[in-house]
Structure 1
Amino acid sequence: MKTYFVQQDSIVRKIWGNADTVMFIFAGAAAEFALNKAVDWLYFTGKLPKDPLGRLFSTVNYAKVIVFAEEKLAIQAIEQMNHIHQKVEEKRGYHIPDWAYRDVLFMLIDYSIRAYESLERKLTSAEKEEAFSVFNRVGKLMQVPGLPKSFEAWEIQRKQQLQENFAYSDFTKDLFLQYKKHLGFFRYWLVLEAQILL
């Protein structure tokens, strides 16, 4: 019997199994990535400014693999993410801040909930807790410290990190310009993403 990282009847699968919802998550993530104080890490390899939409879709695709794959494959995907980050850290000479990892996890929790509620219906407290638990488990497997223990604790920490870890910078300005520059390819990406999901 197959074991999945996320149960087949999970609300998280419903959220990430809908192309429109994923596009909403993507839109929120794109804006938030640009404002994060750790966005310089995304510029370090030079890949983000060259293909910002492609890089963000890559992040979304990793999340989808984790949500829909068997547990063994999902854990392998998480380990691969760890390996990629470690290589970047080695090249740059120091570690990505723990709070930057938490920000990305928190973003996925937040926009998963808000996108679904914007397009479908309000989630129950149990469903919100489930969305939190799935991505919090990803964080634990990535060995990210300082993760909250409940959805309620996450809400408090999320607000705090939004106040502390986000600011408009020269990287923000440049990334929004890159978004505008690459927006002509956006329809192509939307079609491609929809095909992947269906």
Structure 2
Amino acid sequence: MESDIRYFVGEDSIVRKIWANADTVLFVFAGAAAEFALNKAVDWLYFTGKLPADPLGRLFSTVTYSHRILFSTDDGAHAAIDQINAIHQHVETARGNKIPNWAYLDVLDMLIDYSIRSYELLERKLSDAEKADVFNIFYKVGTRMNLKGLACDYEEWAAQRAFRLKLNLQYGDLTRDLYQQYRKHLGAPRYWLLKKVQALLVPTPVKNLLGLKGAPLKSLLFLYKLSGVIKLKHILRDTLLPVEYKCQIRALDKGFMISTKHM
């Protein structure tokens, strides 16, 4: 008897391939870490104090929720999205103000754009149909969140993305502080590597505002890919990221997150 269970993301979707691979998800994380720091609404993330106190945990929580949504049934994904809305409403009540709709759209932009950029950087170019598939999945997330002004298709979204990159980013005191927190929590060697990965990954407006200079580490990227062939990739990952995230990172390869302690 065929199961009536419906999954939020179809089994043949490119989104499953992207988000079931720890490497691509970690690159999504790196790109978001850069853009979060520049977003004009970053003060909302500072309001609760969680972001400066634990920037890696706060960013991993975004990845965790995304992973939970993308590998759940329709009902499970809707419940996770509704939980996100409830958390945001609680923060809004505490601050006495509303998170702007454009800030939500910016986060959705990051998930779409860095999913595509990360996979293309580490694996291969995506077809137009595959890029549209990525957009369509996250469009469903935005619809469930009741966001206004969502693009109708990938082409319209790409134009909106370019516009919002010019409009909603700035380098300010919170940007500087957040990068200081990245350095503090990662340590100097990992922080240096994070910035090199970001220079290779992020859109030009983000790169310019952050002053991400220096030759991208294409040779290092090649060696990292090679490490997967010779079975050293887990060792490299564990070296490059703090030990407390080891289980979460390895779980990404299996298509689920073991721990949700930062949610």
Tell me how far apart the structure 2 counterparts of residues 189 and 54 of structure 1 sit (CA, whole Å): 10
Question: Which residue pairs with 2:85 in the alignment?
Answer: 82
Note the residue ranges of structure 1 that are not aligned, 5 or more in a row. Answer: none
Question: Which residue pairs with 1:118 in the alignment?
Answer: 121
- 1:104-183 matches, within 5 Å, as 104-183=107-186
Tell me how far apart the structure 1 counterparts of residues 180 and 24 of structure 2 sit (CA, whole Å): 25
Question: Which residue pairs with 2:96 in the alignment?
Answer: 93
Instruction: State whether residues 19 and 193 of structure 1, in contact with CA within 8 Å, keep that contact through their aligned partners in structure 2.
Output: no
Aligned length: 198
Give the letter for the 2:94 counterpart: K
Question: Which residue pairs with 2:251 in the alignment?
Answer: 196
Q: Which has the higher helix share?
A: 1
**How many angstroms does 1:187 deviate by?**
2.9
TM-score for the superposition, normalised by structure 2: 0.74
Overall identity of the aligned pairs, in %: 59
Tell me how far apart the structure 2 counterparts of residues 189 and 27 of structure 1 sit (CA, whole Å): 17
**How many angstroms does 1:193 deviate by?**
2.7
Tell me how far apart the structure 2 counterparts of residues 110 and 190 of structure 1 sit (CA, whole Å): 24
Secondary structure of 2:171 counterpart? coil
Question: Which residue pairs with 1:66 in the alignment?
Answer: 69
Question: Which residue pairs with 1:41 in the alignment?
Answer: 44
Is 2:190 the partner of 1:187?
no
**How many angstroms does 1:189 deviate by?**
4.9
**How many angstroms does 1:191 deviate by?**
2.1
**How many angstroms does 1:190 deviate by?**
5.0
**How many angstroms does 1:196 deviate by?**
1.8
**How many angstroms does 1:194 deviate by?**
2.4
**How many angstroms does 1:178 deviate by?**
0.3
**How many angstroms does 1:195 deviate by?**
2.3
Tell me how far apart the structure 2 counterparts of residues 175 and 58 of structure 1 sit (CA, whole Å): 16
Q: Deviations along 1:121-152, whole A, 9 cap, x unmatched?
A: 11011100000011111001000100100100
Note the residue ranges of structure 2 that are not aligned, 5 or more in a row. Answer: 191-240, 255-263
Question: Which residue pairs with 2:23 in the alignment?
Answer: 20
Q: Deviations along 1:20-40, whole A, 9 cap, x unmatched?
A: 000100000000000000000
Tell me how far apart the structure 2 counterparts of residues 191 and 59 of structure 1 sit (CA, whole Å): 17
Secondary structure of 1:168 counterpart? coil
Tell me how far apart the structure 2 counterparts of residues 194 and 78 of structure 1 sit (CA, whole Å): 22
Give the letter for the 1:195 counterpart: R
Question: Which residue pairs with 1:30 in the alignment?
Answer: 33
